[in-house]
Chains A and B, each alone.
Chain A
Amino acid sequence: KAGVTQTPRYLIKTRGQQVTLSCSPISGHRSVSWYQQTPGQGLQFLFEYFSETQRNKGNFPGRFSGRQFSNSRSEMNVSTLELGDSALYLCASSLESSTGTDTQYFGPGTRLTVL
């Protein structure tokens, strides 16, 4: 099975612009989560989608948004970019299980640099 794929792998933007990142989950996985990784804050949860609905949300401003499509692919959008948004953005997919503690598998990430 192919793993989680993320596009693009690298992005350079300037302050004030917006950006869209894409994530394709492992085939059959219905849940997609997004994380931001920075040297200072570590790995922080952004949001989780399941069946095109946001199921969980982290503590990020409204400039960060996402969506999920019927094929489980997901996109996240960051508007009005700030220098502090420079980070590695990781997507993870998982099966839906009744316990909700199933394993998340990560993609390689998108490295966003804001100048």
Chain B
Amino acid sequence: GNSVTQMEGPVTLSEEAFLTINCTYTATGYPSLFWYVQYPGEGLQLLLKATKADDKGSNKGFEATYRKETTSFHLEKGSVQVSDSAVYFCALKGAGTALIFGKGTTLSVSS
């Protein structure tokens, strides 16, 4: 079945550091891929998405590219801020199936 694996956290960075959170997936067909972010005490917010191979999703300085050859959708940001501290979830959705999440990666950014 479909599954998502993302790097274990927590990830601790200083402000303005480069961020990468790895995400790989297993899926049949051509799923859509997503990154969601969850701030403390809140629900999930869509950060970015990609619907087909080689698509690049981007939002608020975050980027991720749908790589079918490596079945990956790694999240990157060139310069993190304290306000980026949150839990990040990689997810995939195949046609007619439920959204499947990775276990989440906690990011902590200090000034």
| Chain B residues near A35 (CB-CB < 8 A) | 99
Is B96 a contact partner of A100 (Cβ separation < 8 A)? yes
| 39-69 of chain B: CB within 8 A of chain A | 42-46, 49, 51
- Chain A 1-28 interface 0/1 with B at a Cβ cutoff of 8 Å (1 = within): 0001010000000000000000000000
Is A103 a contact partner of B34 (Cβ separation < 8 A)? yes
Contact-residue bracket for chain A: 20 to 34
Known contacts A42-B104, A43-B89: A101-B95 contact under CB 8 Å = yes
Q: Does B70 contact A (CB under 8 A)?
A: no
Q: Does B83 contact A (CB under 8 A)?
A: no
Residue of A nearest to B104 (CB): A42
| 30-79 of chain A: CB within 8 A of chain B | 33, 35, 42-43, 45, 48, 56, 58
Q: How many A-B residue pairs have CB under 8 A?
A: 55
| Chain B residues near A105 (CB-CB < 8 A) | 46
| Shortest beta-carbon distance from A89 to chain B in Å | 10
Complex alpha-carbon distance, A56 and B95, angstroms: 12
Is A42 a contact partner of B103 (Cβ separation < 8 A)? yes
Is B98 a contact partner of A101 (Cβ separation < 8 A)? no
Complex alpha-carbon distance, A107 and B46, angstroms: 11
| 75-115 of chain A: CB within 8 A of chain B | 90, 92, 99-109
A interface residues with partner B (beta carbon < 8 Å): 4, 6, 33, 35, 42-43, 45, 48, 56, 58, 90, 92, 99-109
